Amino acid sequence: MASSIFRHLLLFIFALSSAPVLCLGQSAKEPRIQDYFQKKQDVISYAVFGAQAPPSQGLLDLLQSQVAWDRATPEPTNPLGMHLRFVKIDDAANAAATRYRVFADGAPENKVFSFGTWLVSKDIVHDAAFISANAGVSGARDVYVNARGLLMYHKPKPEEARSSRLADELEVTPVAAPGEPIRYMLDSLDEELQIVGTLVPHPVEAEDEGCRLEVRIAQPDAAAVLIFVEGFKAKSKVPVVLQSANGSVTPVVVTDEDGRAVLAGFPHVPNKTQGVLKVTAEGASCLPSVELPWGAVGDGATKKP
């Protein structure tokens, strides 16, 4: 069993290093393994229903990499933990799809970057190539950053150094289901700096008395989800109630010094093709709760808006 898991992890790393992982600029080098997959990640807690088989170690490693990406965990190529910031350009009610301009606060102005995306993948090995899907980014072009951190398609002129909006700025127009994240990376062509960010256009979240709960799709059809608990008492035990179909499970997570915790959930239950996952976090004086449909897109359970 151990040798099988090790073999799959090697295949995964090989796929990431050989596949077109990013939508690279024209002068970019060959794609390389990202730090978020390269090092051994922390062990992620998870919850399953009933007789459901436990997830593979490879899948748990992938989910933990998603968490590290979402939190912009400091890495050798991003020691300061810089992250991408997304600002709405359009009002979604008045636009076919919401556009966002992108900022990399603190990024140096003297580098040339590529920009790419990582969509929620179907398989930890064979779908690594799909990280190159553009998710609303038009074309593979060199990217630059001005003093405000604004991403743009030309080297900023002196009069553009402090601009927060420009005609030639980089924009993203993601299309996603409720709770579906799209992950982006700004990668310097000299391979010295990688800045990541995660955009959830339609977050599934709730807040109660300062306690926050969010559920993000981690595998297609919400076969796996990531549950983020924030704003709770530091170093405290927080029961998280997961309900799906007729099943219920209550794992307990322990928050870190910032009052945060994360849990992987697998809402599918035997003999069901779709349903609704309800998640509730039980704090001392708060009770945030959210619901997320799961199941095949063809059945309309996680259909994109």
pLDDT of residue 47: 94
The string of pLDDT tens digits covering residues 195-219 is: 999 999 999 999 999 999 999 999 9
The string of pLDDT tens digits covering residues 102-137 is: 999 999 999 999 888 888 864 322 223 333 333 334
Checking if the pLDDT of 161 tops 90, the result is no
pLDDT of residue 108: 93
pLDDT of residue 30: 45
Q: How confident is the model at residue 233 (pLDDT cuts 50, 70, 90)?
A: very high
Q: In the predicted model, what is the mean pLDDT of residues 43-60?
A: 88
Torsion of CA 131, 135, 139, 140, to 10 degrees: -30
pLDDT of residue 139: 45
- Three-state SS for 50-79 is CCCCCCCHHHHHHHHHHHHHHCCCCECCEC
Give the C-alpha separation, 226 to 103, whole Å: 25
Q: How confident is the model at residue 92 (pLDDT cuts 50, 70, 90)?
A: low
Domain positions in the chain are 2-39+76-199, 204-299
- Say what percent of the chain tops pLDDT 70: 75
The string of pLDDT tens digits covering residues 256-297 is: 999 999 999 999 888 888 999 999 999 999 999 999 999 975
The string of pLDDT tens digits covering residues 3-35 is: 444 444 334 333 333 333 333 333 434 445 566
Supply 2's token pair. 């151990």
CB within 8 Å of 137: residues ≥ 6 apart: 23, 115, 116, 117, 170, 172
Could you identify the residue written with the tokens 């810089």?
82
Give the C-alpha separation, 144 to 156, whole Å: 7
Q: What angle do CA 117, 37, 32 make, to 5 degrees?
A: 65
Per-chain mean pLDDT for the chain: 79
Which residues share a beta bridge with 216?
226
Please provide the CATH number assigned to the domain covering 204-299.
2.60.40
